[in-house]
Amino acid sequence: MKHRNISLEWPERFTGKYVIDSAKIDAAIEKALEKIERNIEAWKDGFVGTYTTGFRYPIGENNNWVCGMHTGLYLLAYEISGKKVFLDAAKAHLETYKTRLDGKIALMDHDVGFVYTPACVAAYRLTGEEKYKEWALEAANHLYDAGFAKKGGFILRGFNWANESGCRTMMDTLMNAPLLFWSAQMTGNKEHYEAALSQEKITERLLIRDDASSFHHYQFEPDTYAPRCGVTWQGHTDDSCWSRGHSWGIYGFPIAYSYCREDWLLEVHRDITYYMLNHLPDDLVPYWDYDFTEGDHPRDTSASAVAVCGLHEACRHLKDGAEEKAIYENAAAQLLEVLIDRYTGDIGTPYEGLIHHVTAGVPQNIGIDECAMYGDYFYLEALMRFRNPDWTMYW
Ligand code: GLY
C-alpha cells in the first residue's frame, strides 16, 4: 500500500476527551424508536424508496438498494428495545428477500451486500433461523459468481453491463464486500475471502489518491479490465471527493480489518479519516462534496452517520493510547452530537426520517436536503454503538 502519512491540520479541534451524556444517547434512541414505531403503519405496504420527497418516503417493493437497510432498521430497533413490534415488521419483509433472489430482482449490480447484509445476515444473527443464513449465503454466491471480475480483481458496478460505465468499481462497494467476508467466515469459502480482500486492495490502490481523498468510481477498460481512470457519479467533479463515498471507505476499511486483521487497512482508514476531518466545515457537518468547506451548499448528514460508525469500529481495533484512537473517539462523539442536536426532527415535524439534510445526488438533482434510509439506518447504528460499544455489528 502507499504510505500517505496524512496529518491533521487542526488537531486542536479533536483533542481531549469528548463525551456525549448517556442520557442524551438514551433520549435520542427513544425518539428514534418512537418515530420508527409510528412509521411502521405508514410503511406497512412495503419498502421505502431511496430518498424522501418533502421528507416523506415513497413506498414500493423490495427492489432497490436501500431495502436491506429498511429491514435492518427494524432489526436494530428490535435489538435495542426487545419489542416484538419491530421484529414482526422485519419478518413481514424477510420472505421477500427469497423472492428477490429467485427472480434476481434488481440484483445485477454491486449493491447485493447492501441489500442482504443488514436484512438477512442481521436476521440470522438475531433469530438464529437458518433460512436467513441460507438466503444471505445464496446472495453472496450471486455477488461472487455474477459480480466479481476475476481478471480485474474487483466487484463490478453493473454485472451485465451494457455500456462501459458498468465496468467500474466504486467506494460504495466496500460496504458490499463484507457479505463475501461473512460468507467465507460461515463456510470457509476461500474464493469469497480473496475476492473481498482484492476489492479492498484495488480500492486502496486506485480509488484513494495520494492526498487520501477518494475518487467515487474507477473506470476499467471493458475488454481487458486494465485500470483506466477515476471518475465520479455523485460527486462534484471527477477529481473531487464525494463525502458519502468517502464515508463508505471510512466504515468499509475497518469492517474489512475485523475479518482479515491486515494492518494496512487501518493505515488507509486513518489517512482517509484525516482527510475528512481536515475538510469538515466549522460546524462539523459535511457538505455533499469536500470541494466545499464553507458557504451555502447542501450538506450530507448521512456521510456523518456512516463515518461515526466507521470511527467507532476502528477504535475497537486500535490499542489504548494510540494517538488516532483518541482523535476518532473525540470526532465520533462530536459528529454524532451535532446530528442529535440539529438534524433529528421531532415527532410532529414534517420529517419522516430519523435525520434530515441527507443529500442523495446533486448531479442527478435527486433527494437534496431530504431524508434517506442510509441516513436513518446508520444514525441508529451509531446510537447503538454509543449505547453498547460491544455491539456485534451486522456487517
Ligand atoms: N450507494 C449509493 C449512495 O451512497 O448513494
- For 206-225, write each residue's pLDDT tens digit: 999 999 999 999 999 999 99
For residue 22, how far is its CA from the centre of ligand 1 (angstroms)? 31
pLDDT band at 349 (very low <50, low <70, confident <90, very high): confident
DSSP structural state of residue 50: S
**pLDDT number for residue 299:** 98
Given a cut of 90, whether residue 265 has pLDDT beyond it is: yes
Query: Which residues are 366's β-sheet partners?
Result: 361
Q: Is 244 a pocket residue for ligand 1 (Cβ < 6 Å)?
A: yes
Domain annotation covers residue 1: no
The candidate with the shortest Cα–Cα distance to 116, out of 129, 108, 107, is 107
Among 374, 376, 377, 378, name the best residue to mutate to test ligand 1's pocket (greatest count of ligand atoms within 8 A of Cβ): 374
pLDDT over 90 at 346, yes or no: no
Please tell me the residue having the least CA distance from ligand 1 atom 2. 172
In a domain, 109, yes or no: yes
Q: Express each pLDDT in 154-177 by its tens digit.
A: 999 999 888 899 999 999 999 999
Q: State the Cα–Cα distance between residues 239 and 289, nearest whole angstrom.
A: 11
Residue 99 reports pLDDT greater than 90:
yes
pLDDT (0 to 100) of residue 163: 86
Domain count, the chain: 1
pTM: 0.98
- What interhelical angle do 190-202 and 243-260 show, nearest 10? 140
In a domain, 201, yes or no: yes
**Average of per-residue pLDDT values in the chain:** 97
> What's the pLDDT score for residue 162?
80
Give me the residue label for grid cell 442520557: 23
CATH number of the domain that residue 96 is part of: 1.50.10.10
Rounded Cα distance between 265 and 47, Å, is: 34
Residue tagged active-site, from 109, 111, 271, 300: 111
The closest of 311, 330, 318, 371 to 35, measured between CA atoms, is 371
Give the pLDDT score at 287.
98
pLDDT tens digits for range 112-148:
999 999 999 999 999 999 999 999 999 999 999 999 9
Q: Determine the atom of ligand 1 nearest the C-alpha atom of 374.
A: 4
Residue indicated by cell numbers 461515526: 308
Can you spell out the DSSP letters for 132-197?
HHHHHHHHHHHHHHHHEETTTTEE-SBTT-SSGGGSEEEGGGGGTHHHHHHHHHHH--HHHHHHHH
pLDDT at 237: 98
Q: Calculate how far, in angstroms, residue 172's C-alpha sits from the geometric centre of ligand 1.
A: 6
Q: Which residue blocks in the chain are alpha helix, DSSP H?
A: 22-42, 67-81, 84-103, 112-116, 122-127, 130-147, 177-187, 190-202, 243-260, 263-278, 301-317, 323-342, 373-387
> At 24, is the secondary structure helix, strand, or coil?
helix
203 closest CA partner among 237, 259, 138, 157: 157
Query: For residue 230, is it within any domain?
Result: yes
- Centre of ligand 1 from the C-alpha of residue 359, in Å: 10
**Does the beta carbon of 79 sit less than 6 angstroms from any atom of ligand 1?**
no
Residue 4 lies in a domain: no
Q: What single-letter DSSP state applies at residue 9? A: S
In the structure, what pLDDT confidence band is assigned to residue 106 with cuts at 50, 70 and 90?
very high
- Cell representation of residue 92: 413481514
Band of pLDDT at residue 345, cut at 50, 70 and 90 = confident
Residue 184: inside a domain: yes
Q: Is the CB of 246 under 6 A from ligand 1?
A: no
**Predicted pLDDT at 353:** 97
Residue 3 lies in a domain: no
For residue 299, tell me if it sits in a domain. Answer: yes
In the residue annotation, 172 being an active-site residue is answered as yes
pLDDT beyond 90 at 348: no
| Confidence (pLDDT) at 232 | 98
Ligand 1 atom showing the smallest separation from residue 372 Cα: 5
Residues in contact with 122: Cβ distance below 8 Å, sequence separation at least 6, in sequence order = 71, 72, 75, 76, 394
What would the pLDDT profile of 53-87 be if each residue is shown by its tens digit?
999 999 999 999 999 999 999 999 999 999 999 99
Instruction: Quickly state the pLDDT bin for 45 (edges 50, 70, 90).
Output: confident
Contact 145, 196 (CB under 8 A): no
Residue-wise pLDDT for 231-261, tens only, equals 999 999 999 999 999 999 999 999 999 999 9
The domain in which residue 84 lies consists of 12-387
Q: What is the pLDDT of residue 229?
A: 98
d(CA 51, CA 58): 8
